[in-house]
Amino acid sequence: MTEIIVAEPVAVFTGVGKSFVAGKRRVEALRGVSARLRAGCVTGLIGPDGAGKTTLMRLLAGLLKPDAGEIHVLGQDVIGEPLRVQQSLGYMPQRFGLYEDLSVQENLDLYADLQCVAHAARPERYAELMHMTGLAPFTHRLAGQLSGGMKQKLGLACALVRSPKLLLLDEPTAGVDPVSRRELWEIVYRQVEQAGMSVLFSTAYLDEAERCDDLLLLHQGQLLGQGKPAEFSSRMQGRIFNVSNGSESRRRLQQQLVQQESVLDALIQGEAVRLVMHEGRSPQGEVWAKGLKIEQAAPRFEDAFVAMLGGVGAIAPEAVHAAATVTAKNGPVIEVADLSRNFGEFQAVKSIGFHVERGEVFGLLGANGAGKSTTFRMLCGLLPASSGSLTVAGMNLRDAPASARSRIGYMSQRFSLYGTLSVLENLRFFSSVYGLSGKGRRARIDWAFERFDLHDIADTASDDLSLGYKQRLAMAAALLHEPDILFLDEPTSGVDPLARREFWQRINLLAEQGVTVLVTTHFMEEAEYCDRLVIMAEGSILASGTPQAIKQTAAATGEKVATMEDAFIALIQREAA
């Protein structure tokens, strides 16, 4: 590859600081960030939720004024001359920013007017954009009636209508299905290659970092590093291993390995457990490594990211959990057959069927709008089914008595906490809702504090908690009444990679104790952590089985399948064909 020498960076920020007042707290969104964005390439802005990615984007677009520091974009001072910068800027905010009651064409017209694109130049540009995004057949459809992926592509088309010099994309792939994600990346790269555009692309998906030419790593408002993806991962060379053993379950193996002091991170991947070792350590020669099949693996950006943030501590298994006393009856705990749900004309769930065994971690995998949440709400008895049958622990929760419902725990997508109540008050409230009182209640609240390490934040209002802590508290609340079935709806959405790892450790421990866990997710790699799963798209089940079986099914299509995401895309393409 020939290195293009670029004299001028496309954006320069020096010592940029920005803070906001949120409620009573002052949040430092960015602290002393200095960096240069290279021209003519895709720079990834990587960081967990709340790292300051959106603030940085808005500062570049001239939508915020920094408290400290200077920002120059395309040679102009953004703070002083925002309008001039905005003339050569394309910006796509996190929430589409489309007018949902305007059609695709009307949205394009609006942005062409706002960018003062000459009428004569429009037909050609429109045709190009519509062809590129695949939206040509839908120009008269209202933007609100497009799928999530198509909305993102339209948003991108609107930002590109005048072929900007710098394109700012704020988490354009969040919650978008893997196929659309790949398409979005292709469009972005075409702009860079053909029009010489510079792109800043923020994302919470660590696997997307590898697609960027350059990376900015943000964490808690600070720049942890800048460099090419390979520069980050090469630091991890020799510290990554795939470990497997024939007999034991992957989950138990992962649990064991993550407790070892020389291990920084352990993740289930495929049939093996992927280890990130502490610097200078190797599994060879460790006592616990005896009898395990160990292979060195190529490092990824994610390994470097976790290592830079210090890894996750292991959670010790509980000695005795009351739920473990559930008599281990065999047979399915959840059974779904021919289940459908219509909203008017729209069929959200199309006669699906699956079953879940006791103590299983069962995943519902799919992009936003695939019908996961609808299925979930029917299972929890929150939404009546249009047709079909479903039983949870032998009953239909829709007409089950409260006593039966007390056997399930539910954690909703938005965590459903009372924002103005403190952590302790939330736990007290939820325990009383589940009918706990007196000594039993006190014991369970103590358990939650101990187990989820909430002591330091007992008196903090839950609105003021970080997303990771909110998730912990929500999970604690869902477990107060010791349910033997746990429903988790997108529990890790928007939560940073470290908190997600910790969360999955807890789920694994629960499953070991005999709790049946049903979880929805749109993170494809999380599918690997499930015992079995179904992949949903547009209301139907595309495949079901163990992660390995699903990959094999997908591989039968002839595509090269290495990850769950590959499998997902292969299955979608087979469905479309």
Q: Report the C-alpha gap between 432 and 427 in whole angstroms.
A: 9
Tokens of 26: 């002052």
Question: Please, are residues 45 and 53 in contact by the beta-carbon 8 Å criterion?
Answer: yes
Q: Which of 31, 53, 58, 181 binds another protein (CB under 8 A)?
A: 58
Binding-residue pattern over the window 12 to 31 for another protein, x denoting contact by CB under 8 A: --------x-----------
DSSP string, 328-386: ---SEEEEEEEEEEEETTEEEEEEEEEEEETT-EEEEE--TTSSHHHHHHHHTTSS--S
Residue with tokens 């062809």: 131
Using CB under 8 A, which of the segments 56-64, 177-185, 429-437, 458-466 binds another protein? 56-64
* 116 contributes a contact to another protein by CB under 8 A: yes
The distance of closest approach from Cβ of residue 474 to another protein in the complex, given in angstroms and rounded to an integer, is: 24
The distance of closest approach from Cβ of residue 176 to another protein in the complex, given in angstroms and rounded to an integer, is: 16
Residue with tokens 């592509």: 153
DSSP string, 65-121: --SEEEEEETTEETTT-HHHHHTTEEEE-SS----TTSBHHHHHHHHHHHTT--GGG
Q: Could you report how far apart the first and last alpha carbons of the chain are, in Å?
A: 36
* 120 contributes a contact to another protein by CB under 8 A: no
* 463 contributes a contact to another protein by CB under 8 A: no
Closest to another protein by CB, 135 or 509: 135
* 109 contributes a contact to another protein by CB under 8 A: yes
The distance of closest approach from Cβ of residue 159 to another protein in the complex, given in angstroms and rounded to an integer, is: 8
The distance of closest approach from Cβ of residue 91 to another protein in the complex, given in angstroms and rounded to an integer, is: 4
The distance of closest approach from Cβ of residue 86 to another protein in the complex, given in angstroms and rounded to an integer, is: 4
Closest to another protein by CB, 156 or 509: 156
DSSP SS3 for 133: helix
Closest to another protein by CB, 108 or 267: 108
The distance of closest approach from Cβ of residue 92 to another protein in the complex, given in angstroms and rounded to an integer, is: 7
Considering CB under 8 A, how many residues would be counted as binding another protein?
39
Q: Which of 104, 146, 158, 267 binds another protein (CB under 8 A)?
A: 158
DSSP SS3 for 284: coil
Q: What is the DSSP letter of 396?
A: -
C-alpha distance from residue 515 to each of 252, 267, 360, 507 (Å): 15, 21, 8, 9
Element containing residue 54 per DSSP (H, E)? helix 53-60
Q: Which of 30, 61, 150, 267 binds another protein (CB under 8 A)?
A: 61
Contact set for another protein, span 166-195 (CB under 8 A) = 168
Binding-residue pattern over the window 64 to 103 for another protein, x denoting contact by CB under 8 A: xx----------------xxx-xx-x-xxxxxxxxxxxx-
Q: What is the DSSP letter of 269?
A: E
* 126 contributes a contact to another protein by CB under 8 A: no
Closest to another protein by CB, 110 or 308: 110
Closest to another protein by CB, 159 or 258: 159
Q: Report the C-alpha gap between 265 and 18 in whole angstroms.
A: 33
Closest to another protein by CB, 111 or 430: 111
Question: Please, are residues 527 and 451 in contact by the beta-carbon 8 Å criterion?
Answer: no
Interface contacts to another protein, rule CB under 8 A: 20, 58, 61-65, 82-84, 86-87, 89, 91-102, 106, 109-116, 142, 155, 158-159, 168
